[in-house]
């Protein structure tokens, strides 16, 4: 299941935003919003990217945190992949990895640290590496 989401300002910590939230977020999210849910909101609000339920769970389970600036870089990277005709891609951000269905505009899963090392990514046609 994939949901569209709304914006937020700054994210720190894996148990939800500690920065100021936009009014549309506070009305659409429970008080205990996880980082994955907030990440979902940012991506959908500023682009046509969705985050699958599976990816939200992986983001939260693995404690993946991105600042708003990182999320913006992620969005630009996916747009660049889209312009190049990518269908399924790997987005590497430092020790974080995201598998994205570019053609569907959906983050499929997320990994970090030791989960990335030595991992074989299949069924992708492109990859983009972003500085951490």
Q: Is there a contact between 65 and 13 (Cβ–Cβ < 8 Å)?
A: yes
pTM score of the predicted model: 0.69
How would you write the pLDDT of the chain (132 residues) with one tens digit per residue?
444 333 332 233 333 333 333 333 334 444 567 878 787 777 777 677 898 999 999 998 998 888 888 888 999 999 999 999 999 999 999 889 999 999 999 999 999 988 888 899 999 999 999 987
Q: H helices of 1-111, where? A: 23-28, 35-46, 53-61, 68-83
Distance CA 99, CA 103 (A): 12
Tens-place pLDDT, residues 110-128: 999 888 888 999 999 999 9
């Amino acid at each position: 299941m994939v949901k569209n989401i709304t914006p937020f300002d700054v994210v720190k910590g894996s148990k939800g935003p500690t920065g100021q939230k936009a009014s549309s977020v506070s009305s659409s999210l429970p008080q205990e919003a996880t980082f994955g849910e907030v990440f979902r909101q940012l991506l959908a609000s500023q682009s046509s990217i969705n985050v699958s339920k599976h990816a939200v769970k992986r983001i939260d389970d693995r404690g993946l945190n991105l600042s708003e600036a990182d999320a913006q870089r992620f969005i630009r990277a996916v747009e660049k992949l889209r312009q190049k005709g990518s269908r399924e891609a790997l987005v590497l951000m430092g020790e974080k990895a995201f598998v994205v269905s570019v053609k569907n505009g959906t983050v499929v899963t997320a990994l970090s640290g030791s989960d990335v090392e030595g991992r074989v990514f299949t069924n992708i046609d492109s990859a983009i590496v972003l500085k951490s």
